[in-house]
Amino acid sequence: MDKILKNMVEFASKNNIPIIEKSSSEILIKTVKEKNPKNILEIGTAIGYSGSLMLKNSNANLTTIEISSKNILLAKENFENLNLLHRVNLIEGDANEIIKKLSFDNKLFDFIFLDGPKSKYVSQLPYLLNILETNGLIFADDVLFRGLVNNGQYPKHKHRTIVIKLREFLSNVQNNHNLSSKLLEIGNGILIIKKIK
Ligand SMILES: C[S@@+](CC[C@H](N)C(=O)[O-])C[C@H]1O[C@@H](n2cnc3c(N)ncnc32)[C@H](O)[C@@H]1O
């Protein structure tokens, strides 16, 4: 692995910044290589690790949204060090609001990496589908949240909102006839969604 990428993994671990798990990152890279997207949207940049992986494994440009100004600075520095910054539109702010505005830009994405707040996947889905091309993919990470989403149990108080909202997200995707999807029990669970019409 590139030394800068390796340093990013170490930095994230030391500073308790959640980034994509290794097993999930391998599936992300494989999916990006197969799809070969042109325009990627990412919700949840953190320090730019997954964004860098997607850029290094495609010819795409990346629009990536992050709420933490501290993370934005770190991500910018990392993209710059990897010589990827010219392919990145780094947006600081609340993705819940920004994705509503993106639909007015008339720009469509062919790949979306959904990795921001888990309890918001379900409310973000309709806006993301508006800006996703037909045949485009949404790669949603952590959808099984520590195995609590598909254990058949009523969630304990601590994670109740996230678990209920993720169950709702999975059910909405599976019941939408314009979508096909594949659930992978890898890492914290990955849902790969294809917009078929
Ligand atoms: C799991 S981390 C992203 C990890 C990154 N995709 C990676 O694998 O390298 C989730 C990120 O979403 C950010 N976030 C949380 N709520 C957000 C929001 N409402 N809008 C944008 N970003 C948000 C957090 O600050 C955090 O950096």
**Atom of ligand 1 at shortest range from CA of 98:** 20
Ligand 1 centre distance from Cα of residue 25 (Å): 15
Given this model, what pLDDT does residue 89 score?
98
Nearest CA to ligand 1 atom 4: 19
Residues within 6 Å of ligand 1 by CB = 18-20, 44, 46, 49-50, 65-68, 71, 94-96, 115-117
- Enumerate long-range contacts of 8-12, CB under 8 Å, 24 or more apart: 8/47, 8/48, 8/49, 8/52, 8/78, 9/49, 11/47, 11/74, 12/46, 12/47, 12/49
Whose CA is closest to 190, among 9, 14, 29, 2?
Answer: 29
Strands (E), 35-151: 39-43, 61-66, 88-92, 109-114, 132-141
Its pTM stands at 0.97
Ligand 1 centre distance from Cα of residue 179 (Å): 25
Ligand 1 centre distance from Cα of residue 157 (Å): 23
Strand partners, 43: 65, 114
Ligand 1 centre distance from Cα of residue 72 (Å): 10
Domain ranges of the chain: 3-195
> What fold is seen in the domain 3-195?
Rossmann fold (3.40.50)
- CA 112, CA 2: separation in Å to the nearest integer? 24
**Atom of ligand 1 at shortest range from CA of 71:** 27
Nearest CA to ligand 1 atom 7: 19
Distance of CA 178 to the CA centre of its chain: 20
Given this model, what pLDDT does residue 25 score?
98
- Pocket mutation for ligand 1, best pick of 16, 28, 45 (most atoms within 8 Å of C-beta): 45
Query: First vs last Cα of the chain: how many Å apart?
Result: 38
- Digit-by-digit pLDDT tens for the chain (197 residues) are 799 999 999 999 999 999 999 999 999 999 999 999 999 999 999 999 999 999 999 999 999 999 999 999 999 999 999 999 999 999 999 999 999 999 888 889 999 999 999 999 999 999 999 999 999 999 999 999 888 888 888 888 889 999 999 999 999 999 999 999 999 999 999 999 999 99
